Structure formats: structure tokens, C-alpha cells
Structure 1
Amino acid sequence: MNFKKVKIEIFIPAEYTNKLREALNNIGALGVGNYDNVMSITKIKGCWRPLAGANPFDGTVGKISEANEDKMEFSTDIKNMENIIKVVKEIHPYEEPVINIIPLLNDRFDINLNY
């Protein structure tokens, strides 16, 4: 099945959120109709344990860590994915940033949302 739109979720320290939002908007990833900078941010608590060989941004190898993070969510054209991943990897401080890419069915159906 081919998809035109995807939902992206990125987990990131709050101090990097605005920089990443600006960079994603600059490449056209956050546009919806006549709007830009369209995204949602949810405050979350992340957990992780760096394993042997890891070079963690935060935390200690072998110990479970917890920290407050932002979950950034936005929908975009799938054709933007290569540039989005490049921008995230340039700005995100984590050695292994979490980038969830979820196919959306919105454009596969003729949905009339005008009431």
C-alpha cells in the first residue's frame, strides 16, 4: 500500500525542541494548507539504559536513567522523510534518536470533514 502522508513522533530534550521545530519548518515539513509550524508537543518522561559501547548524551552505561523530554508530533508528506531524518540527526543530541514514522490513511479516502 502506498502512503502520501505520515505522522512523525520524535522524543527530544526540551531545550532542543524549538531549534528542531524551526529547522523542520524551514524544510517545509510542518506545513498544513495555509499554515506552517504545525505540530504538537507533549511533555513526557523517558527511560533508558545505555549498554556497553554506548556514548550517552545523558545517563551512565549500565544504569537506568529517567528524564523529562518533549514528544514532538506532526504530519507531513512522505516525500519529506529523507530531509526530515537528516535534519533530526543534525540537531538531536541523542546517539540514537527515536523517530517513529506512522503511515496515515487520511489521503486514501475521500473524507469530507465539512459539517
Structure 2
Amino acid sequence: MTLYKLCVFVPATHAEAVKQALFDAGVGRVGDYDHCAFELVGQGQFRPLPGSQPFLGSTGRVERVTEHRIELVCDQRYLGAALRALVAAHPYQEPAVDLWPLLDYRQFL
């Protein structure tokens, strides 16, 4: 089984909806637990360029917004469905998503 760490930045107003969409897609399972996530609140910034359709802000102006960094573990077999669910639930035109393959720490014990 190949696991990935999925990290997404989402405005506070949509954090719960994005998490739920990911959980429904099979993300956030660790052993005998589900709905596992780490969440951190911070400030994001961006500037919409011409041709963009921003959820927040306006073209050419830097926008700062309270965002949640949400990290979850995802089994590779759920990855496609998870990313489709994330994009459907996320309000931004271009969600910021990080994805890393993980090693199973137990193999080193």
C-alpha cells in the first residue's frame, strides 16, 4: 500500500466542507481510525492576474485571507477520487495542494 500526505490550504469558511469531502472520498484513515487530519490556521496571500476569476479579492490587488492548512493521509487507491472531491468542494479557482509519497515508519522498527 502506497500512502501520500495530502496538504491543502483553504479559506476558513470552507475548511469543514473540504475536510468532509476528503473524508467521504476515503482520505484520513490511519490504521483503525478515520477522519484523521491535522489543521493549522494561518494567513495566505495571493494576487489575481488578468483572466482569473477569484473567489476572493479583485484582479491586480494583493489579497490576504485567513486560511487553514489541512494535512491528511491518503491511500494511493483513493487519490484520484480525493483530488476530484477536493477540487469540487474548494472555492478557489486554483487550490494550493501539496502531495508527498510517504514511507511507512513501521518498516524501520
TM-score over 0.5 for the alignment? yes
Corresponding position of 2:95: 97
Which residue identity does 1:95 align to in structure 2?
Q
Deviations 1:79-112 (A, max 9, x none): 21110111011110000011111111226x7122
SS of match in other structure, 1:110 = helix
Corresponding position of 1:72: 70
* Cα distance, 1:71 vs structure 2: 0.4
Corresponding position of 1:87: 85
Return 5+ residue gaps in structure 1 as ranges.
none
Given the two structures, how large is their TM-score scaled by the length of structure 1?
0.87
Which residue identity does 2:107 align to in structure 1?
D
SS of match in other structure, 2:107 = coil
Given the two structures, how large is their TM-score scaled by the length of structure 2?
0.92
Deviations 1:17-54 (A, max 9, x none): 11121221122211111111100000010010100100
SS of match in other structure, 2:108 = coil
SS of match in other structure, 1:90 = helix
Which residue identity does 2:39 align to in structure 1?
I
SS of match in other structure, 1:63 = coil
Identical pairs, percent: 28
CA RMSD of aligned residues (A): 1.5
Distance of 2:4 and 2:18 partners within structure 1:
18
Corresponding position of 1:111: 108
Query: 1:1-115 alignment to 2 at 5 Å?
Result: 4-106=2-104, 110-112=107-109
Larger Rg: 1
Distance of 2:62 and 2:21 partners within structure 1:
31
Deviating runs (4+, > 4 A) in structure 1?
Answer: none
Contact 2:26 2:82 in 1 (8 A): no
Distance of 1:88 and 1:48 partners within structure 2:
20
